[in-house]
Amino acid sequence: MTAPGLSADLCLKCNICTAACPVAAVTDLFPGPKAVGPQAERYRQPGAGSVDASVTWCSGCGTCTRVCPHGVQVAEMNILAKAQAARGHIPLRDQFMSRPEWLGRFGSPLAPLANFALSQPLLRLALERLLGIARHAPMPPFSHTTLRRRQRARLVRTPEQVARAATTVAFYHGCSANYYEPQLAETAIAVLEHLGCSVIIPPQVCCGLPLQSNGLLRAARLQARSNIRSLSPFAKAGIPIVGTSTSCTLSLKHDYQNILGLEGEDAAVLAESTFDIFEFLAFRLRSTLDQAILHEVTARALYHPPCQLKSHFMGLPALPVLRRIPELDLHLSEAECCGIAGTYGLKKEKYRVARDVGEGLFAQARRLNVDCIITDSETCRWWIARHTALPAFHPVQILAQSLRLS
């Protein structure tokens, strides 16, 4: 892809990106991705403080890049501009929220106490007033036992330790599956094994996306380089990297090279060898999955493909699988974005905008009177569940239920 700094001249000012932008549609605070992106990029001077503050209202959902008919990397350009605007002025709140791995290491051992404390309205009000963390935003509960502790037998440090099976998969759990949703990761592992894979868990750290989204690019690059060092040997050994967090897998596949500017063979081979889980099921295990017996799952569900999933440019691989499940009355989301955009909707000043972006999705769920929401992103699940009072599942959990694995 063309580097963000060079793609501005491809912009014809057609405003397709602005018309599609979910944030510009609900607030005048954001003039749209074209105005703060390629139009403004031509006048920016690196390090000169020439970035207009309105760019901070960009949620980084990636819609603008996806719809641009001329291949302008609008979202990537705006993410870099946000980092330039934030240089030296990143509030404590953003520093705090950008490090979910640190939060997990602290909160997981204290899970019962931490979860109780974060459920208290007075504490949430104090966090809003002191740090600017929206008191009504969802706070997922910590798991007392991490995935890595629960699955110690699967931990490996190098490809040489792996007893190779016909299809060996390296599972990238990220922060959410390790500290908040280990049951989801174990469900995904069970599905992969049921379909003939041997699953290992390699060394890894946070993908760095929260740091990147909050302008901490130097710290994000440190995380990215750590993952490239630890995961690329598995990729070079022909072991695919598979994850259930579509934003994490997108970071490994796209952001490390196209936003953080990390080049070289190791970054490239990691990108080529990383798969979101349904991408892997659909393109690497399709024949096996097609032959699997799927049992009924009686539910009326709304499937919302997250923005990050769409930015993989791989279609919606979970959709045909879900549609094969007997008795699953499945409806497709009409919304472009649920609004959360990682840490964006957690911020006091952006919470209302994020909620307004997602209102179309919430209204559709109410109108259809669905039993549950299905979506591939953990932050989307937490956000949608909070605003609809409906259970929200990853599609692999529905598949596992249909395979009678859960």
User: For residue 145, how many C-alpha atoms fall within 13 Å in the half-sphere facing its CB?
Assistant: 7
Sign of CA dihedral 8, 12, 18, 20: negative
Q: What span, in angstroms and rounded, lies between the C-alpha atoms of 132 and 135? A: 9
> Is the pLDDT confidence value at 372 over 80?
yes
Q: Which CATH architecture has domain 4-86?
A: Orthogonal Bundle (1.10)
Residue with tokens 């097609």: 290
Average pLDDT over residues 374-393: 97
Q: What span, in angstroms and rounded, lies between the C-alpha atoms of 82 and 275? A: 28
Q: What span, in angstroms and rounded, lies between the C-alpha atoms of 263 and 387? A: 40
CA dihedral 77, 78, 84, 87 (to 10 degrees): -140
Q: Which residues contact 227 (CB under 8 A, 6 or more apart)?
A: 204, 205, 207, 208, 252, 256, 270
Average pLDDT over residues 342-351: 95
> Is the pLDDT confidence value at 264 over 60?
yes
pTM: 0.93
> How far from 20 is each of 68, 86, 216, 336, 384, CA to CA, in Å?
10, 26, 27, 8, 21
CB distance 66 to 145 below 8 Å: no
pLDDT of residue 40: 83
CB distance 116 to 329 below 8 Å: no
- Long-range contacts of range 43-47, CB-CB < 8 Å, 24 or more positions apart? 44/81, 44/84, 46/84, 47/84, 47/87
> How far from 259 is each of 3, 136, 253, CA to CA, in Å?
8, 31, 11
From its phi and psi, is residue 208 left (phi > 0), alpha (psi between -120 and 50) or beta?
Answer: left
pLDDT classification of 53: cutoffs 50, 70, 90: confident
> Is the pLDDT confidence value at 7 over 80?
no
Q: What span, in angstroms and rounded, lies between the C-alpha atoms of 269 and 280? A: 16
> How far from 34 is each of 37, 38, 364, CA to CA, in Å?
5, 6, 29
Residue range(s) of every CATH 3.40.50 domain in the chain: 290-402
Transcribe 107-169 into DSSP letters: HTTTHHHHHHHHT-HHHHHHHHHHH-B-TTS--PPPPSS-HHHHTGGGB-SSGGG----SSEE
Q: Longest C-alpha distance within the chain, in Å?
A: 61
Domain spanning 290-402 has what CATH number? 3.40.50
* Helices 111-118 & 121-131 angle (0-180, nearest 10): 80
From its phi and psi, is residue 186 left (phi > 0), alpha (psi between -120 and 50) or beta?
Answer: alpha
Residue range(s) of every CATH 1.10.1060.10 domain in the chain: 4-86
Lowest mean pLDDT of 52-56, 121-125, 257-261, 399-403, name the range.
52-56
Q: What span, in angstroms and rounded, lies between the C-alpha atoms of 350 and 357? A: 11
> How far from 217 is each of 98, 213, 379, CA to CA, in Å?
11, 8, 21
More confident residue, 105 or 7: 105
Question: What are the beta bridge partners of residue 375?
Answer: 304
Q: Which residues contact 174 (CB under 8 A, 6 or more apart)?
A: 204, 206, 207, 243, 245, 248
Q: What is the pLDDT of residues 226-253, one digit of tens each?
A: 999 999 999 999 999 999 999 999 999 9
> How far from 212 is each of 87, 95, 138, 216, CA to CA, in Å?
12, 11, 21, 5
> Is the pLDDT confidence value at 1 over 50?
no
> Is the pLDDT confidence value at 48 over 50?
no
Residue 238: which of 306, 175, 162, 314 has the closest Cα? 162
Q: What is the pLDDT of residues 272-304, one digit of tens each?
A: 999 999 999 999 999 999 999 999 999 999 999
Question: What are the beta bridge partners of residue 301?
Answer: 330, 372
CB distance 252 to 119 below 8 Å: no
